[in-house]
Structure 1
Amino acid sequence: MKRITTVIALSLGGLSGLVQADATSQDYLPLTLKENSAQAESNGFIEDQSLSGWTRNWYARERATKGPLFRYYKSDGSRRETHSRDNWVQGTVLDYSSGFTQGTVGFATQVAGYHALALERGRARVAGPNNRTLTHGDGDVIGQWSKLGLANLQARISNTTLVAGRQSINTPVFAYIGNRALPSSFDGVALHSAEFDNLSFDLGTFERVSTRTEQGKSRFTTEYSALGAEADRVSLAGLNYQPLRSLTTSLYFGHVEDIWNQYYFGASHDLGDKGTLALTTGFNWYGTRDTGSAKLGTIDNDTFSLSFTLAHQAHSLTLAYQQVNGDEYFDYVHDTNAIFLANSLFSDYNGPNEKSFQVGYALDMAGFGVPGLRLNAYTARGWGIDGTHYKGNGYDVRNLDGEHHREWSLGASYVVQSGPLQATNIRAYYTAHRASREQIDGNLDEFRIVTTIPFNIL
């Protein structure tokens, strides 16, 4: 599940002091070429090299509050249901990145080793196979494992870079996901061009995914398919454009071979001054249509979210509305984070024809003398889930008739500000989800604590 949250901030005690503030410029930005070339500033293959990484302690404790939601294999091969699941993994990434060679065309390489150590190895406690701890097919935990998480060659001209090999990419239609002990990555070719100050382009085509909990690589599947349909290729094209100092926009196209074409538009606008009152408006829209041999059947889905952010000093208040228009799930590629919607939280709130609303509050404790500490809470509710009019066979939704669900969460995060552990990030949160009988996510409580320690060797 994803946690892509649009934040809206408001001082609880400052309602009587609202003033007109417009510190964020609304000026038009002309389309201008960058004065500097990243390639011209290269110092060389060895001179700009780096060796760095991070290690992450990832722990999650889940408890089903009604019927059992998990299953595990006993040593005799029998399958048992359970109300609980505990996963605890230490993930470490060691990343070598060379500099670019000098000249008109520069060349570089990146190689990153990923290693995972299972700290919880009990079959019944891990309840595998799952996407948290790597296990054998019978649920027996693999104690530790490693792989090449990244391995690519890069070529750069001016501010345009071509990357070929295993890599990470982050776009609204295809994006790596890093919410486990290790992130996912992809085999393919991608081009990123940033020759203008306020306009950039992305192109890419990918043939395999290296998932968060897998030693090898897999064909592409979708997150909510009932058929397990697979694709050999995912391609994308898109641009990011900033027409005003206060306005950023994105327009992307994604193609999953013989499954769907997906279109995305997003915009974010800033107004005002956080010192008094600032407003950020966010909009995201996806249109998904079946294509080719349509392995998941007919898909005709439009999904959007609209959020507003009011900010005053250390306080923030979140208001976000999201709606699915379609008789199937709003879907995305499995083991990616390609769901840039405001209400993608513990649950994705992406059921057929679902409407959802979120209210959240965050407090930045830097304003109270504790820089790096942030507290947050939110509640969200989804309703009107209706798949009874679905005509295809790619999604199991026909039994969804007026389903609903809700969740709430309390969390805290802290970033170490100085010393040998500077930039270490500690996040802890508790989330409770409650659902009607047929809603896919069920009735579940989760406590998660994640500590990520970065390091630099070169």
Structure 2
Amino acid sequence: MKLSSKALLALAISSITATAYAESASQDFVPTTLAGTSAQSEAKGFIEDFSLGGTTRNWYSHESKYRGGTFEYQKHGVTRTDRNRTNWVQGTIINGSSGFTQGTVGVKTELAVYNALVLDRSKRDIKGGSNRTLADSDGDAVGQWSKLGLANVQFRVSNTTLTAGRQNFSSGIVDTIGNRALPSSFEGVSFNSEEFSNLSFQGGVFDRVSPRTEQSLSKFRTEYGNGAETDKVSTLGLNYQPLKSLKVSVFGANVKDFWNQYYFGATHELGDAQQLALTTGFNYYKTVDEGKKEMGEIDNDTYSLSLGLAHQAHSLTFSYQQVNGNEYFDYLHETNGIYLANSLTSDFNGPNEKSFQIAYGINMAEYGVPGLKFNAYSARGWDIDGTHYTGNGGRAKFAYDGIQKQDGEKHQEYGVGASYAIQSGALKATTVRATYVEHRGSEFQSDGSIKEFRLVTTIPFNIL
């Protein structure tokens, strides 16, 4: 599939139409000034601002492979295959957080216990668990387990905070991922500075990741690579809002002996959704090899452009994405460091891949049912070509082994979803989300052909 001239024309017309008929959103320039208040000056005290609460999440997934695809599992020392895999886990987080002490330098601590209770423990169902259910070396589910998800101390001066220990962190390259029963977290030191009204800085150095479905800390590895590990990830960047309608993020990261990666993201809003609004999103990544080149030689430019139209309850989004490189666009495993518009069940990130997505959403609050939303999307990827991949010799030569077979591969993905957030009462903010996704790939496309139904219920709670 190629993006035809008609499709390109449609994107252009949608942009022009929104500009012509939407009520103008504020395009005023936002001057950069010092923040009007100091967060530390308003500190209430270590004990006085203490809080204890958390969430519990019921996470269920059923997958079915087709077109000859199967899952594997071991039974009595024999490898068996089956088309289906089911994972069902209850993940609970109890988080205790102090307030900042008063004074010029505030001190705060945060501690969170993560617990998983496996509701489906069948070896045949979980198929070794993967990153969904924790399993032992024999493939049996670990029925119940706990770990420290967060454990850190924070120091704050004015509006700048330094955090040391196990923590959450969010940027376009290193980002906590929370799409399982429990989220990931990172071990290291980071800072967040908001000393200016519309400009903030973030950075961090991390040596370990706490995976979503593991009890111990792990070194960093990549999502699509050969299993090589590194124990140092450094990142630095900024978030800037030059206009009331425009937000920009710029980040860079050094992943020791893997790569240097650079990210630029921008979101612009125009118009009024009650009439017609246009949201434009652009994300760009540049990745080049570094140090010992454990992932081989890399020179990869990947970007996505999305145009979203909104009218009252309805939204319609068109997204185009392209990978320019003879390897996957890769990112760190156990992170959400891929802000590309077409990162779905498949990341649509094959070598030299092009992809296009159409998505529709409806917010039923406009029809008297606040909290209820529906969405549907269709995405296609084409021109996947890994035949020019050579690696760089040595053990990294085949860091992305098998990619060389991908010659003109293509795939498609469809998905529908519904979510509801309770608006009031004892279960206020509880969310229930159901999704069904179907992905179909050509012979050597890496994701294969699979269907998945997922049902996730998340309940927040306060203890103190």
Kept in 1, the 8 Å contact 2:69–2:449? The answer is no
Q: Does 1:399 align with 2:398?
A: no
Deviation at residue 186 of structure 1 after TM alignment:
0.7
In 2, Cα distance between equivalents of 1:135 and 1:230:
21
Deviation per CA, 1:88-142, whole angstroms, max 9, x where unpaired?
Answer: 0000000001000000000000000000000000000110141000000221110
Q: Which residue of 2 aligns with 1:295?
A: 294
Deviation at residue 211 of structure 1 after TM alignment:
0.1
Q: Does 1:198 align with 2:198?
A: yes
Q: 1:100 to 1:18 in 2, by over 3 A?
A: closer
Q: Tell me the secondary structure at the aligned position of residue 366 of structure 1.
A: helix
In 2, Cα distance between equivalents of 1:316 and 1:22:
16
Q: Tell me the secondary structure at the aligned position of residue 40 of structure 1.
A: helix
Deviation per CA, 1:15-42, whole angstroms, max 9, x where unpaired?
Answer: x999633342001111011111110011
Q: Tell me the secondary structure at the aligned position of residue 58 of structure 1.
A: strand
Q: 1:42 to 1:368 in 2, by over 3 A?
A: same
Kept in 1, the 8 Å contact 2:107–2:155? The answer is yes
Task: Detail structure 1 runs of 4+ shifted over 6 Å in the superposition.
Answer: 16-19
In 1, Cα distance between equivalents of 2:295 and 2:66:
33
Q: Does 1:51 align with 2:52?
A: yes
Kept in 2, the 8 Å contact 1:19–1:276? The answer is no
Q: Tell me the secondary structure at the aligned position of residue 148 of structure 1.
A: strand
In 2, Cα distance between equivalents of 1:197 and 1:262:
28
Q: Tell me the secondary structure at the aligned position of residue 138 of structure 1.
A: coil
Q: Which residue of 1 aligns with 2:3?
A: none
Kept in 2, the 8 Å contact 1:92–1:114? The answer is yes
Gaps in structure 1 of 5+ consecutive residues: 1-9, 11-15
1:201-212 to 2 correspondences below 5 Å: 201-212=201-212
Q: Which residue of 1 aligns with 2:5?
A: none
Q: Which residue of 1 aligns with 2:309?
A: 310
Q: 1:408 aligns with which of 411, 414, 424?
A: 414
In 1, Cα distance between equivalents of 2:22 and 2:361:
22
1:158-237 to 2 correspondences below 5 Å: 158-225=158-225, 227-237=226-236
In 2, Cα distance between equivalents of 1:19 and 1:356:
28
Deviation per CA, 1:396-431, whole angstroms, max 9, x where unpaired?
Answer: 210100000001011100000001100001000100
Deviation at residue 62 of structure 1 after TM alignment:
0.2
> Which amino acid counterpart does residue 208 of structure 2 have in structure 1?
R
In 1, Cα distance between equivalents of 2:275 and 2:129:
50
Kept in 2, the 8 Å contact 1:129–1:138? The answer is no
Kept in 1, the 8 Å contact 2:19–2:270? The answer is no
1:15-414 to 2 correspondences below 5 Å: 20-74=21-75, 76-225=76-225, 227-392=226-391, 393-396=398-401, 397-414=403-420
Deviation at residue 282 of structure 1 after TM alignment:
0.4
Q: 1:299 to 1:27 in 2, by over 3 A?
A: same
Name the Cα RMSD after superposition.
Answer: 1.4
> Which amino acid counterpart does residue 316 of structure 1 have in structure 2?
S
Kept in 2, the 8 Å contact 1:18–1:276? The answer is no
Q: Which residue of 2 aligns with 1:6?
A: none
Deviation at residue 385 of structure 1 after TM alignment:
0.3
In 2, Cα distance between equivalents of 1:369 and 1:23:
27
Deviation per CA, 1:266-304, whole angstroms, max 9, x where unpaired?
Answer: 100010010100001000000000000111110110000
In 1, Cα distance between equivalents of 2:231 and 2:192:
22
Size of the aligned set, in residue pairs, is 443
In 2, Cα distance between equivalents of 1:351 and 1:159:
41
Q: 1:178 to 1:373 in 2, by over 3 A?
A: same
Gaps in structure 2 of 5+ consecutive residues: 1-10, 12-16, 392-397
Q: Which residue of 2 aligns with 1:3?
A: none
> Which amino acid counterpart does residue 153 of structure 2 have in structure 1?
L
Q: Which residue of 1 aligns with 2:433?
A: 427
> Which amino acid counterpart does residue 134 of structure 1 have in structure 2?
L
In 2, Cα distance between equivalents of 1:451 and 1:77:
36
Deviation per CA, 1:352-405, whole angstroms, max 9, x where unpaired?
Answer: 000000001000000000000000000000000000001112112101000000
> Which amino acid counterpart does residue 359 of structure 1 have in structure 2?
I
Kept in 2, the 8 Å contact 1:133–1:141? The answer is yes
Deviation per CA, 1:69-100, whole angstroms, max 9, x where unpaired?
Answer: 311111x1111111010000000000001000
In 1, Cα distance between equivalents of 2:115 and 2:18:
53
> Which amino acid counterpart does residue 426 of structure 1 have in structure 2?
V
Deviation at residue 66 of structure 1 after TM alignment:
1.8
Q: 1:242 to 1:81 in 2, by over 3 A?
A: same
In 1, Cα distance between equivalents of 2:245 and 2:169:
25
Percent identity between the two aligned chains: 61
TM-score with structure 2 setting the length: 0.94
In 2, Cα distance between equivalents of 1:66 and 1:88:
25
Deviation at residue 68 of structure 1 after TM alignment:
3.0
> Which amino acid counterpart does residue 44 of structure 2 have in structure 1?
N
Q: Tell me the secondary structure at the aligned position of residue 140 of structure 1.
A: coil
> Which amino acid counterpart does residue 33 of structure 2 have in structure 1?
T
In 1, Cα distance between equivalents of 2:19 and 2:283:
28
Kept in 2, the 8 Å contact 1:104–1:157? The answer is yes
Bigger RCO of structures 1 and 2 (CA < 8 A, at least 6 apart): 1
Kept in 2, the 8 Å contact 1:109–1:152? The answer is yes
Kept in 1, the 8 Å contact 2:43–2:101? The answer is yes
